[in-house]
Amino acid sequence: MDLDLKSKTAVVTGASIGIGRAIAKALALEGVRVVAVARRNDLLEKLAQEVLAEGGAAVIPVVQDIMQQDAAKKLAAAALAAVGHVGILVNNAGGSRPLPVDAPDSDWDEAIALNFTRYRQVTHALLPQMIERRWGRIINITGKSEPEGLNAAFAAKAAVHAWAKGLSREIGTHGITVNCIPPGRIMSEQIRRNYPEDYRKQFAEEEIPVGYWGEPEDLAALAIFLASPKARYITGAVIPVDGGLRRYQF
């Protein structure tokens, strides 16, 4: 299927590894000029060279710590300077934050800022030019709604789901969609480091209906479709990519 993405522009945060890298690469191979945002320039440059060698569109590295003061405004300014306008935004930068019951407010504040507030700030910084052009795609990589214990990141991602739903109702008339993708067990450097292969195998056999852990490209496939003009009637949705891991239908 031709997704009609050639000549589009995108920003992908957390683009140096894992899910963000897979999405940035897939977009570029579809002809999208991608502003790839992360803290590690060497990994971003490697991604850009890899995409170029495979015949994709330009990947422009932007080194940015999303937790710095005024990070959202700086990121938006850098992206617009690099590609002129941004039609697709993939909010991906974030991280798990398991916390004890007596965790201080500062730990909660950091987790909420990273996993919710920055998503909102970056989106709202780029929204005016999407509204002006009457087209946009906002895709939020979130998290599951069934935590095993107290994790501030899950609380923040639930906030993203609620915010994104409300936002989708406000800006749909401008040709802009807003959707969320909660990943299941997707392979990454962190997963390989923290979970031995025998544990992963047993978990997949017992908990994941399809019988294996996903790869970043499995999630990227949905993200690319949602970023395309073909997905114009999908908005305000939360669509898991988890091999059937979720046990509840809602």
- Please determine, for residue 233, whether its predicted confidence score (pLDDT) is greater than 90: yes
Q: Which residues contact 81 (CB under 8 A, 6 or more apart)?
A: none
Q: Which pLDDT value is given to residue 77? A: 97
Q: Taking residues 17-40, report their average pLDDT.
A: 97
Rounded distance between C-alpha atoms, residue 64 and residue 144, angstroms: 26
The terminus-to-terminus CA distance of the chain in angstroms comes to: 30
- How do residues 145-183 score in pLDDT, each as one tens digit? 777 889 999 999 999 999 999 999 999 999 999 999 999
List the one residue out of 91, 82, 94 whose CA is nearest residue 35: 82
Q: How far is CA 38 from CA 4, 11, 20, 63, 105, in A?
A: 27, 11, 9, 5, 26
- Give residue 249's pLDDT: 63
**Does 242 score more than 90 pLDDT?**
yes
pTM (2 d.p.): 0.95
Tens of pLDDT along 42-75?
999 999 999 999 999 999 999 998 888 899 999 9
The length of the chain is 250
The pLDDT value recorded for residue 250 is 59
Mean of the pLDDT values across residues 75-83?
A: 97
Summarize the confidence of residues 95-99 as an average pLDDT.
86
**Does the pLDDT value for residue 229 go beyond 70?**
yes
Cα atoms found within 13 Å of the Cα of residue 210, Cβ hemisphere only? 14
Mean pLDDT across the stretch 139-148?
85
All structural domains of the chain, each given as residue ranges with its CATH number in brackets, are 9-191+217-231 (3.40.50.720)
Mean pLDDT for the chain overall: 94
* Rounded mean pLDDT, 102-108: 95
Distance from C-alpha of 93 to C-alpha of 184, rounded to nearest angstrom: 16
What is the distance, to the nearest Å, from the Cα of residue 78 to the centroid of all Cα atoms in its chain? Answer: 19
Kindly indicate the confidence band of residue 237, based on its pLDDT and cuts at 50, 70 and 90: very high
DSSP 117-162: IHHHHHHHHHHHHHHHHT-EEEEEE---S--SS-BHHHHHHHHHHH
> Which DSSP category does 14 fall into?
S
> Predicted confidence band at 193 (pLDDT cuts at 50, 70, 90)?
confident
**Does pLDDT of 189 surpass 70?**
yes
Mind listing the pLDDT tens digit for each residue in 110-130? 999 999 999 999 999 999 999
